[in-house]
């Protein structure tokens, strides 16, 4: 069972999996994110929702991950202190998640994230206190909207 340590997220470390969405600064130009909000299906429509999560303590044992093969998935925190992002790169042989290569990031509540299409990731996990998120993804109501799998071996995330 792989044990990994939570690391502070950075744009460089997260780049293979998507983009960081930093907090807006007063007077700074607004970033344009449309190029990162990928939707590869013309039949899909944007789905915007708002979700609340109770805090989780570490260590955390992660057993399941998900991916959205045809759509990016953006999370914008609203009132989060800190949250966990766990990404699991795919195996070259079959594209399924490779638990031995999992990475865990601590993300400050002032920063959002945008997963690239097809990135295996753990469901949203609040740390240090309850958290609320606005989420944007593209769906068409088919099985291609999202895929959930159980990892071949659990991943334990420590502080």
What CATH number has the domain bearing residue 154? 2.60.120.480
Closest CA to 118 of 139, 85, 151, 144: 144
Range of the domain at 94: 3-158
Tens digits of residue pLDDT in 10-60 = 999 999 999 998 887 777 776 666 667 888 898 999 999 999 999 999 999
Task: Report residue 2 as tokens.
Answer: 């792989």
Please give the sequence-ordered ranges of beta strands (E in DSSP) within 91-146, or none if there are none. 103-108, 112-115, 125-127, 131-139
Number of domains present in the structure of the chain: 1
Is 92 a residue whose pLDDT tops 80? yes
Tens digits of residue pLDDT in 123-158 = 999 999 999 999 999 999 998 899 999 999 999 999
């Amino acid at each position: 069972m792989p044990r990994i340590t939570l690391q502070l997220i950075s744009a460089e470390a997260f780049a293979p999996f998507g983009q960081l969405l930093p907090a807006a600064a007063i007077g700074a130009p607004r970033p344009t994110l449309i190029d990162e909000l990928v939707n590869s299906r013309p039949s899909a429509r944007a789905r915007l929702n708002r979700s609340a999560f109770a805090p989780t303590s570490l260590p955390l044992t992660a057993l399941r991950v998900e991916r959205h093969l045809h759509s990016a998935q953006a999370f914008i925190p609203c009132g989060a202190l800190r949250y966990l992002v766990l990404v699991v790169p795919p195996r070259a042989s079959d594209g399924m998640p490779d638990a031995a290569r999992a990475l865990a990031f601590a993300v400050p509540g002032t920063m959002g994230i945008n997963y690239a299409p097809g990135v295996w990731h753990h469901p949203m996990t609040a740390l240090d206190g309850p958290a609320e998120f606005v989420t944007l993804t593209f769906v068409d109501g088919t099985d291609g909207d999202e895929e959930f799998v159980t990892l071949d071996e659990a991943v334990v995330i420590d502080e």
